[in-house]
Amino acid sequence: MFLNYSTPESNRVNNFLRLLDQIYDRDPKIALEFISHCINDYKDTKGLETQAQHEQGKFFQSGYLIQPGLKLTVMTDSGSQLDVKKLKSDIRALDVPKYEKNCVLLISVKKYDLSPEDFQDFNVHFAYETFESLCRHKLCDLRSQEMNDIVSEYIQYCLEDGLIDGFRHYIGIVDNTNIEPMRTFGIYDEPVECGFSSHGYIGFCLERNMKFLYKIDSIVRVSLECEKHELENQSLIAQTMVLKHDTETVGDERELKRKLAAYISERWKNDKKDLRHGYRFYCGQPYEVPLNSNTRCLHLFNITYLRSTHDRAFLDLRTAFEGDLDSLSPQQIAMGQNFRYGRT
C-alpha cells in the first residue's frame, strides 16, 4: 500500500497523502475529520484531491491536498536539525493560490519547539505534528474496524522507515479474567483485525490490580496446517507451524515455536480456543508484580494517557517512572523502582 519513492523525504510526504486517500476512499467524513484534527480548525465534508509531491523547496519536500476552499501543503524535513529560517523561506516560496484557507502541515521526525504564531506573517495557517504524535494519538482515534488495516500498515511503514521509535516505552494493559495461560507461557494472543502495535510491554490486570507484566521479545503471526483434533499434539503443531514476524525475534526461533505450540495446545484443551489462523502473538518473559509494588496501580495512573484499542489500553511508562527507562529491567519496573509517585 505504501511505496518507495526517489528520496526518504518523498516517501514521507507521498505516503502520508496515500494514507489520506485510502481513508477517504472508505469514509470521506472520517478523512475530513482526521484532516481537521491535524490542522486543528478546518471542518468540511466536500471532495478531496491529493497531489503527489512534485515540488521540492530548497530545504523541505512538499505535497498538496486540495478541497473546495482549502489547499493544504504537507511538508516534511530531512530528519536532521530543523532550521526555522530555511523552513520559512520554503513556505514563503510556495505557490499558494487564493483559497478560502491556505494551510501548511509540517510533519517531522524529531520534535521541535514550533508555534503557529511563528508563521502569522505568511498568510497561511500553520500546523505541526511529529510522526510519533501522529501515530500515537491522531491515528489511534481512527482504529475502528474498517480503518484498522490502513492505520496498522501506515504505522508499520513508519516503524520500518525509522520515523517512530516503536512505542517501546508503551505498556499495553489487559484486563482479563483468564490471565493464567499468559502468566504460565508469557504469551498474549489477539485477533489480527485488532491491528498491529509494537508497544514494548504488556501488563495483565485482574480485579483492577496488575498481577504481572513482561517486556515483549517477539510479535508474530502463526499459520498452522493441522486439524482441530490435532491441536493437543504439541510436536505436530511445532512441525507444521509457519511464523510471520512482525518484529525481529529475540532468541532461538525453534524455542519460540515450541513455546507457542505449548500455548496453542493448552488454550485448545482448556478453553476450546482455536488459534490456528488469524491471531497475533505477543511473547515475552513474565514478571510478577509484588503486592507492595507501586506498579500494582499502574493501570490507574494518569488516566489521560490511556488510549483504548478494543479491550486494551496503552500507557506511556515515561509518565509513571523517573529517569532512563532503558536502564530499568522489566523486573525492576514490576517492583516499582523509580516510580514517579507513591501509591494512588
User: Residues 75, 13: contact at Cβ < 8 Å?
Assistant: yes
> Residue 3 CA to chain centroid, in angstroms?
19
pLDDT number for residue 304: 35
Handedness of CA 171, 129, 31, 36 (dihedral sign): positive
Q: What is the DSSP letter of 273?
A: -
Comparing C-alpha atoms, which of 167, 215, 151, 203 is closest to residue 316? 167
CA–CA dist 77, 106 (Å, integer): 8
Residue with cell 530548497: 58
pLDDT number for residue 54: 45
User: Residues 218, 283: contact at Cβ < 8 Å?
Assistant: yes
Q: How confident is the model at residue 33 (pLDDT cuts 50, 70, 90)?
A: confident
Q: For 287-302, give the secondary structure using H, E and C.
A: EECCCCCHHHHHHHCC
CA–CA dist 76, 109 (Å, integer): 8
Residue 343, φ and ψ in degrees, nearest 5: -60, 135
Residue with cell 515455536: 257
Q: Which residue has the higher pLDDT, 184 or 311?
A: 184
Q: 43-52, 122-131, 294-303: which has the minimum mean pLDDT?
A: 43-52
Rounded to the nearest 5 degrees, what angle is found at the Cα of 146, between the Cα atoms of 144 and 147? 65
Q: Please, which residues bridge with residue 288 across strands? A: 212
Q: What is the DSSP letter of 192?
A: G
Tens of pLDDT along 296-337?
Answer: 877 665 433 334 444 557 777 877 788 888 888 889 999 988
Cα distances (angstroms) measured from residue 15 to each of 2, 35, 48, 84, 166: 6, 15, 16, 24, 18
49: pLDDT strictly greater than 70: no
Q: Which segment, 30-44, 104-118, 274-288, is predicted with the most confidence on average?
A: 274-288
Tens of pLDDT along 266-303?
Answer: 999 999 999 999 999 999 999 999 988 888 877 665 43
pLDDT number for residue 192: 83
3-class state of residue 256 by DSSP: helix
261: pLDDT strictly greater than 80: yes
pLDDT number for residue 328: 86
User: Residues 284, 217: contact at Cβ < 8 Å?
Assistant: yes
DSSP 47-82: --EEEEEEEE-SS-EEEEEEETTEEEEEEE--SS--
pLDDT number for residue 60: 54
Instruction: Count Cβ atoms within 10 A of the Cβ of residue 229 and give its class: 0-12 exposed, 13-18 middle, 19 or more buried.
Output: exposed
User: Residues 20, 34: contact at Cβ < 8 Å?
Assistant: yes
User: Residues 174, 311: contact at Cβ < 8 Å?
Assistant: yes
pLDDT number for residue 315: 74
Domain residue limits, the chain: 8-160, 170-335
* Cβ-based neighbours of 314, under 8 Å, separated by 6 or more: 140, 167, 170, 171, 172, 173, 197, 199, 306, 307
DSSP 308-335: EETTEEEEEGGGTB-S-GGGS-HHHHHH
What is the percent of the chain with per-residue pLDDT over 90, rounded to a whole number?
24
56: pLDDT strictly greater than 50: no
pTM for this structure? 0.64
